[in-house]
Amino acid sequence: MTLLDMIPSLQPAMLPRLSPAIWPRGTEYDGAGRITLGGVALTDIADRFGTPTYVLDEAEIRARCRAYRKTFPQARVYYAGKALMIRAVADWVIAEGLSIDVCSGGELEVALSAGVDPKRLIMHGAGRSCDELTAAVRAGAGRIVLDSLTDIALLAASPSRPQPVLLRLSPGIDVHGHPAVRTGVLDQKFGFPIGSETAAEAVRRVLARPDLELVGLHCHLGSQIHDPDHYGEAIRRLVGEMAWIRREHHHLLTELDLGGGHAVAYRPGDAELNLTELADIVEDALDAACARHRFPRPAIAMEPGRAVVARAGVTVYRVMSIKQIAGGTTYVTVDGGMNDNLRVALYGAQYEPVVANRRPHGPWMTATVAGRYCESGDVLARDVRLPADLHPGDVLAVPCTGAYHHSLSASYNCVGRPPVVAVRDGCARELVRRETTADLLARDIGR
């Protein structure tokens, strides 16, 4: 018998702390020691919808949208749909005053099917087809970001409605992140290097087309940026480029899109971007750059995605087996893995899973949470602290999984992708159903 069994009143105080840095603000333990999200026990979701399942706290997403609107009241804030593009999320962010950034024909169709006003859409991305660009123009997308000279040529084949466009520039700023997400350096696949002849040629070509209206510049520095000074430097460089375009072409650009990349914490202690500090840096940099170049202050836009939805998401799994390698690692295998969370294999991302179905007490162990798929790199979390009495059937919850999990999910080993379930005010509802074997076979028409 443990101390908690002898003195039940100590149980709430002895429960492991759920860090507010990585869990939705409405997360708590109920009287039975179960983790609840939006008033719903995660074990109830596991029982009802199966595992793995992505769980989204609607109130958390809405609150983060409101924080952006409050902190940047004069800016156009686009939710970056690539983080998680489903119709319910599109509904929520639009209702909270944000617009939406899409980067493919598919994301465009999801937004339109959710009833989003096309004027509140911006499309960017590399390698878009003529059909995708044409669809954006025909839909009436508010802005299209030009990423290459080919984009300009492809838009020439689109309907002749005048289309507002922005030119994406790489400002030459290295945020020192993972190589896969450093998009502000000069030598990478996105946009035009600032100050290059190719960028100058793009400006000339766009201004020569009566069906294209060049309204501003766009940049994206990378992902997981926690130092707001990088955005200040981007403003200084891009306003200088806007001033050059005015001098060279007598054309005034009025918009500056700073992209996204706002860092969030995946584990307690991780650095994240402070919105108030970012707002101060943006204001100071705009004042200084515009004064230096005697340039009218442009309207600012930004594109947070991860920062809106990441912390609102929790993924629930069931433990399938526990294997102790003599003299080595303890592996806890769950019923998901790289199919529903590719970020660990792709970027080396780190998470902090916890037991969700009971209060853990007693001794702990260090273990690696492994996925079920046939790859040695299929790992969800390495060397994490879990209860020593963990057993098959326990439910594990992994916080901060709202961004780039459903979006990057796959059906490797012919295992269907998980459902997405929303919670709010004690109710759970399915937003995206689980992909079944029948769904996979419906696409296989080779016989």
Q: Annotated binding site for pyridoxal 5'-phosphate, which residues?
A: 261, 303-306, 404
Residue reference for tokens 């944000």 = 98
Residue reference for tokens 């901060």 = 400
For residue 71, count other CB atoms closer than 10 A to its CB.
Answer: 15
Dihedral angle, C-alpha 433, 437, 441, 443, nearest 10 °: 30
The rounded distance, in Å, linking the Cα atoms of 195 and 172 is 10
Q: Between the CA of residue 353 and those of 188, 264, 380, 401, what are the distances in Å? A: 34, 17, 9, 11
Identity of the amino acid at 186: L
- Known binding-site residues for substrate equal 306, 343, 347, 375, 404
The yes-or-no answer on residue 219 being catalytic is no
- Known binding-site residues equal 261, 303-306, 343, 347, 375, 404
Look at phi and psi of residue 303 and say left if phi exceeds 0, alpha if psi is from -120 to 50, else beta. beta
Sign of CA dihedral 107, 108, 110, 116: positive
The rounded distance, in Å, linking the Cα atoms of 410 and 340 is 7
Identity of the amino acid at 341: N
For residue 266, count other CB atoms closer than 10 A to its CB.
Answer: 22
The rounded distance, in Å, linking the Cα atoms of 146 and 217 is 9
CA angle 223, 228, 402 (to 5 degrees): 40
Q: Supply 277's token pair.
A: 């500090």
Among the options 219, 290, 374, 427, which is catalytic?
374
Pairing outcome for strands 313-324 and 330-334? antiparallel
Q: In what order do the strands lie in the sheet with 28-29?
A: 28-29, 35-37, 40-41
The rounded distance, in Å, linking the Cα atoms of 140 and 163 is 8
Catalytic residues: 374
